[in-house]
C-alpha cells in the first residue's frame, strides 16, 4: 500500500521531494513546453538534503498526529521515520 502526499509549495527544495511535480499558473496546469524550461531551471538549483529531510520529517509528524486522532496504527509512520533516521546516520 503506497502513500500519496499532495504538497502545494513555492519552495523548490520541498518540491524536489516528489517523484512527480505538476506546475500550476493562474490555477491551470502548465503546458509541456513550459515544463521543459522549468525543469531545466530546477536542475540548476542546488538541493539542500538536510532541508529536504527536515521537511519530510515534518510531513511525517503531521501524518502521525492525524493517525493518532483517528486512533489508527502508527507502524508505517514509525517505519518511515526509522528509515530516514538510518539514512541520516549513514551519511
| DSSP run (H or E) holding 88 | helix 75-90
Q: Are 51 and 13 in contact (CB under 8 A)?
A: yes
pLDDT at 70 over 90: yes
| DSSP run (H or E) holding 24 | strand 24-25
Query: With bands split at pLDDT 50, 70 and 90, how would you rate the model's confidence at 91?
Result: low
Q: What is the mean pLDDT of residues 30-39?
A: 63
The model carries a pTM of: 0.48
Per-residue pLDDT, 75: 93
Instruction: Find which of 21-25, 36-40, 68-72 is predicted with most confidence, using mean pLDDT.
Output: 68-72
Amino acid at each position: 500500500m503506497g502513500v500519496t502526499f499532495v504538497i502545494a509549495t513555492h519552495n523548490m527544495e520541498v518540491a524536489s521531494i516528489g517523484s512527480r511535480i505538476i506546475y500550476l499558473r493562474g490555477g491551470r496546469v502548465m503546458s509541456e513546453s513550459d515544463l521543459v524550461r522549468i525543469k531545466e531551471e530546477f536542475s540548476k538549483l542546488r538541493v539542500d538534503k538536510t532541508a529536504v529531510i527536515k521537511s519530510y520529517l515534518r510531513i511525517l509528524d503531521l501524518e502521525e498526529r492525524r493517525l493518532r486522532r483517528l486512533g489508527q496504527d502508527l507502524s508505517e509512520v514509525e517505519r518511515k521515520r526509522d528509515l530516514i533516521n538510518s539514512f541520516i546516520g549513514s551519511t
